[in-house]
């Protein structure tokens, strides 16, 4: 059943059917409330399957289940109406009644979005927490003394709970000192962080300056890369790919390790306490084993680290032992020649690779399908010619091919336990729903204005195939993701219908306003030209959006419809 509902055709029927039906229901209910006679109200389009008449209105169930439609008597003055509907024609209604009837469709979509967001808020919305998964070398956070595992409690007195709040606060504070309150293993730590100012491209493709502190969300696993064949780690019997699960000093309790940052901090502290040996609990190829690491006196930490010590102090101590994280180590999963499992990326097109974020930036800047990389294999550098995998991505400037390394990495960061935003009663849930609907409306309105002004190219426009893909993909994830997609597309539908293009609701409202100013309706020829123009504009947009969709998704949509070959 779940597979059936997540099929793109079924998902788009449910999603679009709900959106269009609610839109037309808004027109119908407000139109009736305003005293305008309705000729037909249909659930679905196409041939009528079932119908009945009540008063002057025929209620229909039609064959194509994509929403529905409402038809008012007297939408055109020349149209003939039955005696029972005379005086209730649409064109005879006052300016305010017609405006309210037409505006009710988009408003119904906004209301649907608010209700959907309220349901999500009542059920609970998972958010990434404001916890530091990794501290990037050379960043402002490292210099200030932030450690992996720290949870940001507040910034400049403002409470912080979600990663998005932390990210937004940092982004807006380039070059400005911020006061952070951290929770570190149950203790409160206060530090000052001054984010660096960096230039980047926003979602619109425009250059912008933002703040960057050098923290990341993902928790780097305690899987290690052994560096140097004569290092202490190598001589102790550690292998690249081993995962450290615990540390222990002789005669003391076992200390659990939760990630590479945790390993670096605890190994540094334990090396000060142990006279000459640390016991490591490892996981290697699914098996558990213990290993003793002998630390000569000359390789012990020189001094203890205070709470403000940079995390690089702990990371560099592990490197002195021959241990680094495995974020740049090639995994055995789905490996392709010329790579081998355990290869560690050192150079990309002759340039040093500075962590996974540095590798990501190098990949995004590269436009060559074949490059040279240098890896460390069996503790020796080896240069490889690599064919990259081209992936079509949609950006503000249109479709862009990104060439990616066809490998998986051992130390891929994992997601932390999410913070669930949940509202205990429906009143607070609806307050959240309307606030979120307003926030999304403001964001999408800005994007729509940039599309009209040309700052976002028309290549970014999506149509029915994009909606089908979003519907199908979100339905596969779960009902919360599907409902979230429905809410966002409902806001889109409401906004688009308010655009002052003839045929759309916004265009009709402009037409009524012109009539109100002139104090008489437009002539038949003007009205005809007005609607023809609207039809051409809407048809052109639909064709353009569909063309964009086909150029983006035809391969994935074909695979989803007919299945992929084995």
Annotated catalytic sites, by residue?
Answer: 24
Helix, strand, coil percentages, rounded to 5, for the chain: 40, 25, 30
Rounded Cα distance, 374 and 381, in Å: 6
Phi/psi region, residue 372 (left: phi>0; alpha: psi -120 to 50; beta: rest), is beta
Rounded Cα distance, 117 and 480, in Å: 10
The tokens describing 21, both together, are: 């039906």
Nearest to 172, CA basis, from 208, 148, 138, 144: 208
Residue 422 contacts residue 125 (beta carbons within 8 Å): yes
> How open is the CA angle 28-32-38, to the nearest 5 degrees?
65
- One DSSP character per residue, 363-377 reads HHH---SEEEEEEEE
Q: Find where tokens 């002539």 sit.
A: 523
Nearest to 24, CA basis, from 49, 9, 44, 47: 44
Rounded Cα distance, 92 and 98, in Å: 9
Q: Find where tokens 């309150």 sit.
A: 181
- One DSSP character per residue, 44-59 reads EEEEEEEEEEETTEEE
Rounded Cα distance, 80 and 59, in Å: 20
What stretches of 217-369 adopt beta strand conformation (E)? 224-226, 243-249, 255-256, 277-284, 287-294, 323-325, 344-348, 351-352
Residue 382 contacts residue 347 (beta carbons within 8 Å): no
> How many C-beta neighbours within 10 Å does residue 129 have?
21
Local structure of 171: helix, strand or coil: helix
Rounded Cα distance, 208 and 205, in Å: 9
Rounded Cα distance, 187 and 72, in Å: 67
List, in sequence order, the alpha helices (H) in 124-204: 140-144, 163-171
The tokens describing 306, both together, are: 């205070």
């Amino acid at each position: 059943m779940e597979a059936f509902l997540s099929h793109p055709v079924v998902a788009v029927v449910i999603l679009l059917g709900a959106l269009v039906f609610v839109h037309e229901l808004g027109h119908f209910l407000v139109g009736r409330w305003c005293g305008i006679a309705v000729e037909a109200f249909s659930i679905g389009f196409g041939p009528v399957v079932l119908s009945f008449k009540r008063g002057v209105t025929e209620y229909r169930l039609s064959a194509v289940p994509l929403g529905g439609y409402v038809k008012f008597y007297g939408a055109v003055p020349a149209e003939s109406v039955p005696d029972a509907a005379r005086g209730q024609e649409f064109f005879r209604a006052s300016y305010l009644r017609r405006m309210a009837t037409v505006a009710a469709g988009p408003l119904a979509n906004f209301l649907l979005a608010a209700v959907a967001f309220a349901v999500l808020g009542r059920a609970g919305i998972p958010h990434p927490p404001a916890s530091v998964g990794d501290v990037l070398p050379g960043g402002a956070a490292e210099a200030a003394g932030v450690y992996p595992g720290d949870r940001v409690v507040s910034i400049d007195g403002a409470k912080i709970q979600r990663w998005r709040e932390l990210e937004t606060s940092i982004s807006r504070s380039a070059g400005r000192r911020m006061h952070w309150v951290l929770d570190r293993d149950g203790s409160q730590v206060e530090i000052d962080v001054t984010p660096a100012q960096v230039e980047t491209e926003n979602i619109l493709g425009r250059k912008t300056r933002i703040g960057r502190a050098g923290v990341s969300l993902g928790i780097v696993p305690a899987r290690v890369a052994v560096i140097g064949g004569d290092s202490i780690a190598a001589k102790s019997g550690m292998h690249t790919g081993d995962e450290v699960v615990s540390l222990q000093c002789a005669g003391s309790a076992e200390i659990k390790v939760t990630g590479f940052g945790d390993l670096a901090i605890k190994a540094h502290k334990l090396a000060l306490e142990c006279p000459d040996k640390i016991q490591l609990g490892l996981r290697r190829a699914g098996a558990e084993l213990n290993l003793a690491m002998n630390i000569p006196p000359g390789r012990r930490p020189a001094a203890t680290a205070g709470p403000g010590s940079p995390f690089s102090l702990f990371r560099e101590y592990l490197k002195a032992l021959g241990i680094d994280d495995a974020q740049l180590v090639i995994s055995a999963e789905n490996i392709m020649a010329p790579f081998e499992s355990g290869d560690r990326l050192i150079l990309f097109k002759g340039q040093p690779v500075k962590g996974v974020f540095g590798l990501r930036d190098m990949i995004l800047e590269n436009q060559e399908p074949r490059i040279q990389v240098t890896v460390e294999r069996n503790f020796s550098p080896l240069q490889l010619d690599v064919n990259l995998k081209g992936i079509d991505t949609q950006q503000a400037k249109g479709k862009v091919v990104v060439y990616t390394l066809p490998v998986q990495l051992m130390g891929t960061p994992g997601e932390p336990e999410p913070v669930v935003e949940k509202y205990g009663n429906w009143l607070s849930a609806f307050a959240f729903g309307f606030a979120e609907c307003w926030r999304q409306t403001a964001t999408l309105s800005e994007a729509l204005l940039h599309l009209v002004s040309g700052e976002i190219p028309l290549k970014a426009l999506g149509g029915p195939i994009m909606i089908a893909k979003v519907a199908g993909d979100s339905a596969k994830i779960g009902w919360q993701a599907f409902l979230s997609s429905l809410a966002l597309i409902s806001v889109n539908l409401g906004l688009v219908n308010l655009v002052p293009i003839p045929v759309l609701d916004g265009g009709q409202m402009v037409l009524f306003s012109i009539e109100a100013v002139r104090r008489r309706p437009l002539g038949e020829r003007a009205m005809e030209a007005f609607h023809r123009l609207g039809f051409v504009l809407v048809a052109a947009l639909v064709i353009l959006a569909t063309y964009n969709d086909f150029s983006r998704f035809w391969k994935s949509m074909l695979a989803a419809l007919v299945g992929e070959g084995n």
